Amino acid sequence: MTETTVTDPAAALPAGRRLEGKVAIVTGGGSRGPGIGTGRAAAVLFARNGARVLVVDRDEAAAKVTADMIAEEGGEAATFAADLTSPDDCTAMAAAAVSRWGRIDILDNNVGTEGAGTILDVDPAFWDRVIQVNVTTIVNASRAVIPVMAQGGGGAIVNLSSISATRPRGLTPYTAAKGAVIALTRAMAIDHAGQGIRVNVIAPGPIYTPMVSSEGMDPELRERRRKASPLALEGTGWDVGYAALYLCSDEARYLTGVLLPVDGGTSIRSPDR
C-alpha cells in the first residue's frame, strides 16, 4: 500500500481551542438546581474551547448561571429562553444566534424528561408529553438550525439518548422516547450528510446531575448507581460534556450516526454482576 501524507484537520488549532471560531447552541443549558448538568457542562466546555455559546433553557435564570460561569472564565455566551416543544420558539432561537454571531456550527440537544410505567398504566397524555420533550424538541430545534448550518458549509449535531433505550428498567415511556432518539439520529445523519452536517448521539448511563439530585436520591441509591459501573466511578455531567465536545470537534470529522455510551461500562456488564 502506498504511503501518503494526510493533513491532521485539528493540527492548526491552539491547544485547548478545539472549537475556535464556531457558534454553538446548547439546549437545556441550565441545570435544575445548583451543580453541573449535561447541558451546562457542554456549554462551559464548548466556550473553553473557543466557541461562542447560546445557552438555551426554558428557565432563563438557570441559563444565566451557565452564561455567567462562561463569562467568568473569559468566554462568550448569551442566553435565550425557549420552550422547545414550540417550533416558533426554536425558529426564534436560531434567529437569535444568527443575529448575534452570524452563523451556527453546533447544536447540542440536551432537553429531556423521565417517564416511568408500562404501556398499560401510563396516562396517554403523559406518554405524549414524554415523547414530545425527549424527541419532538430535537426535531424542532434541528429543523430550525439545519438550514443555517447548511448555508454555512456544515456543522455538528449531538443528541442525548440514554442506555435505558437498550436496557429497559421500568421506564417504558422514557425507554421508547430515548430509543426513538437513536433512530432519529441515524436517519438525520444520512439525510444531512450531503450538507456537511454530522449527527451523533450520546447515551449516558447513571449520571449524577442536579436533575437526579433534585428528585431526592438517598446516599444508598447513589452508591448503588456508582457500583453499577465496572469502573466503580460515578458519572457526572462533565463526562457527557467532554463526549459532546469531542463529537462536535474536527477531530470527529469522520464520525456520523454514531451511538456513544457514556456509562462507565454499565451497559456491557452482565445482568448477574
Q: Kindly list the catalytic residues.
A: 174
Residue whose grid cell is 451511538: 259
Enumerate residues 6+ apart whose C-beta is below 8 A from 72: none
Torsions phi, psi of 29, nearest 5?
Answer: -80, -5
Query: How far is it, in rounded angstroms, from Cα 96 to Cα 24?
Result: 12
C-alpha radius of gyration, the chain, whole number: 18
Q: Which candidate, 186, 188, 182, places its Cα nearest to that of 166?
A: 182
Q: How far is residue 29 from each of residues 36, 59, 65, 268, 272, measured CA to CA in Å?
A: 10, 9, 9, 29, 37
